[in-house]
Amino acid sequence: MTYVSEEFVIHLETYGKEWVSAVKSDARVTYGSERIRVDSLAERINTVPRTIAGETYHI
């Protein structure tokens, strides 16, 4: 199981945990069948503000 993988997040959610992690904007992710930078992904998707432990994240 790799860090920031969907499998990892689902595993944490089975314990009732919410998980947010910082990633560098130039990190590469697979979105659909395309490898893109995280900052490019952020421009393509809708996010919602979520407050966790007093910090607001757009996820």
- Token readout for 9 is 């997040």
- Token readout for 36 is 């893109």
Check: CB of residue 29 under 8 Å from CB of residue 19. Answer: no
Residue 36: helix, strand or coil by DSSP?
A: strand
Residue 49 has pLDDT above 70, yes or no: yes
The pTM (predicted TM-score) of the whole model is 0.55
Q: Are strands 34-37 and 55-58 parallel, antiparallel or unpaired?
A: unpaired
Query: What's the confidence (pLDDT) of residue 26?
Result: 87
What tens digit of pLDDT does each residue of 18-48 get? 777 778 888 888 888 999 998 899 889 888 8
Residue bearing the bigger pLDDT, 33 or 4: 33
Residue 3 has pLDDT above 70, yes or no: no
Query: What's the confidence (pLDDT) of residue 1?
Result: 67
Tell me the domain boundaries of the chain: 22-59
